[in-house]
């Protein structure tokens, strides 16, 4: 069915050009099919990329889709690609890790885990757009909470938050 | 204590505490408080030069460790006061729980460090093109604003070079006062300040002439009239024209 192949190609073009997560709703608006149809098509596209030898994959995260390289080709790319030259310091990484796993999380909670004040590191992370202020769902009028951003996933090469390893217990 | 790692290398009191626990090869939940507290405080003593802002968090932990140490030294039972509510949780257990939690996130941070250093197989994403529906990152540019900004810079540069080229000037107020008076004596009907100043006269010279004029007014040697803002300043002799 040619129309189906063309639809796939169109979605591929959108995902390539955007280079960021595109939601199911948006894709359905762009190509003019129902989100349900798109979802089936997306599964097929993902299958295509996984079956054949491709350096690129399409990943799904909470009904959004993005194109990125496969982790298998990490070695080919690393060192040849300019990525993120500003390295974060260890305290900044500790703060970022707590936010990544606990989000949304308040400054007080972060400080209680780290045992030190974190205002400066939080400020740095906000400035670098790795974290953002998030809605505090548990306490509607509570302290400001933080969550990680898309930029965080991009910088650390994670397809989604699910790519973070399980926290070691014991 | 032999070799000491500088306190700046620890990212907080829990980090230092974990280091001491590892060094002494003890269990997080069964810390020999007396020993660890002493080592911890020893550390703080050696770091007198460390800045106060960073050290304050370490000091809070030090006082807590001393509290635990004191509590452990006292025979149990005697500290129990029925009037005071006992901690529902053993404080040492609580500390162990905190250390354990911190250790977990320290490992998570290590994973992020590996990602950052390229030690973990990762995905690469294309640079965003700004083609999205959201336009938060797209900057709207106006040509006129750009031209305006450039013109502003050019003008500023001109002004700066103007003042740079002025250099130093020496003017003698007294001489200028005398000069003004002499000029007035020759023109009894009065003179206009602006016409006395030559065109293209450097700004510092104009200012010093003006100061000279003000001084003459103060000494009541002349009278000045100006009928509107920025208008001509007319000067008329008030005395005999002698300066002193």
pLDDT at residue number B135: 46
Contacts 24+ apart (CB under 8 A), B49-52: B50/B7, B50/B8
Domain covering A90-163 assigned CATH 1.10.3720.10 in the classification: no
Domain ranges of chain B: 7-117, 173-237
Domain ranges of chain A: 2-77, 90-163
Residue that is written with structure tokens 């020759």 in the block = B186
CA distance B31 to chain A (A): 16
**Topology of the domain covering B173-237:** Arc Repressor Mutant, subunit A (1.10.10)
Three-state SS for A147? Answer: strand
Q: Could you tell me how many CB contacts below 8 A there are between chain A and chain B?
A: 128
pLDDT at residue number B2: 47
**What CATH number does the domain located at A2-77 have?**
1.10.10.10
pLDDT 10s digits, B23-69: 888 888 888 888 888 888 888 887 766 666 677 888 888 888 898 88
Q: Do B124 and A68 touch (CB under 8 A)?
A: yes
CA atoms within 13 A on the CB side of B226: 8
Give the separation between CA A103 and CA A136, rounded to whole angstroms: 10
- Is any Cβ of chain B less than 8 angstroms from the Cβ of A161? no
Give the separation between CA A159 and CA B195, rounded to whole angstroms: 78
Chain A CB contacts of B116 under 8 Å are: 84, 87-88, 93, 155-156
CA A136 distance to own-chain centroid: 20
B243 within 8 A of B178, measured Cβ to Cβ: yes
Residues in chain A with pLDDT values less than 50: 1, 170
Strands A64-69 and A56-61: antiparallel
- Is any Cβ of chain A less than 8 angstroms from the Cβ of B227? no
E-state strands within chain A: 22-23, 56-61, 64-69, 105-106, 131-134, 145-148
- Whether omega for the bond prior to residue B195 falls within 30 degrees of 0, making it cis, is no
Chain B CB contacts of A75 under 8 Å are: 121
State the greatest distance between any 2 C-alpha atoms of chain B, in Å, as a whole number: 110
ipTM over 0.85: no
pLDDT at residue number B200: 67
B131 within 8 A of B47, measured Cβ to Cβ: no
Residues in chain B with pLDDT values less than 50: 1-2, 132-136
């Amino acid at each position: 069915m040619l129309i189906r192949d063309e639809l796939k190609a169109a979605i591929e073009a959108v995902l390539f050009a955007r280079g960021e997560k595109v939601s199911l709703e948006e894709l359905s608006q762009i190509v003019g099919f129902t989100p349900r149809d798109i979802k089936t098509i997306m599964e097929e596209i993902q299958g295509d990329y996984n079956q054949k030898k491709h350096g690129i994959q399409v990943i799904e995260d909470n009904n959004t889709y993005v194109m990125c390289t496969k982790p298998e080709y990490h070695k080919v790319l690393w060192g040849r690609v300019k990525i993120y030259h500003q390295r974060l310091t260890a305290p900044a990484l500790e703060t970022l890790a707590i936010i990544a796993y606990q989000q949304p999380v308040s400054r007080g909670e972060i400080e209680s885990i780290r045992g030190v004040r974190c205002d400066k590191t939080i400020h740095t992370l906000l400035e670098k757009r790795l974290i953002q202020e998030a809605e505090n769902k548990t306490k509607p009028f509570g302290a400001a909470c933080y969550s990680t951003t898309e930029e965080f996933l991009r910088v650390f090469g994670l397809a989604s938050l699910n790519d973070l390893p399980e926290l070691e217990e014991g | 204590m032999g070799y000491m790692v500088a306190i700046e290398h620890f990212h907080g009191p829990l980090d230092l505490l974990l280091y001491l626990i590892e060094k002494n090869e003890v269990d997080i939940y069964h810390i020999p408080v007396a020993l660890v507290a002493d080592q911890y405080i020893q550390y703080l003593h050696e770091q007198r030069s460390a800045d106060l802002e960073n050290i304050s968090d370490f000091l809070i932990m030090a006082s807590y460790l001393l509290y635990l140490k004191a509590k452990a030294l006292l025979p149990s039972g005697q500290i129990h006061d029925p009037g005071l509510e006992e901690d529902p949780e053993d404080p040492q257990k609580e500390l162990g729980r905190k250390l354990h939690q911190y250790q977990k996130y320290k490992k998570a941070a290590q994973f992020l460090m590996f990602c950052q250093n390229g030690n973990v197989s990762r995905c690469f994403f294309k640079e965003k093109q700004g083609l999205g529906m959201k336009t938060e990152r797209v900057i709207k540019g106006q040509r006129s604003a750009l031209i305006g900004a450039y013109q502003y810079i050019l003008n500023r540069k001109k002004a700066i070079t103007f003042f740079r080229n002025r250099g130093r000037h020496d003017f003698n107020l007294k001489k200028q006062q005398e000069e003004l008076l002499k000029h007035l004596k020759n023109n009894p009907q009065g003179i206009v300040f602006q016409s006395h100043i030559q065109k293209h006269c450097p700004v510092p010279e104009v200012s010093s002439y003006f100061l000279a004029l003000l001084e003459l007014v103060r000494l009541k040697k002349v009278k000045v009239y100006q009928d509107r803002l920025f208008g001509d300043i007319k000067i008329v002799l008030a005395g005999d024209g002698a300066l002193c």
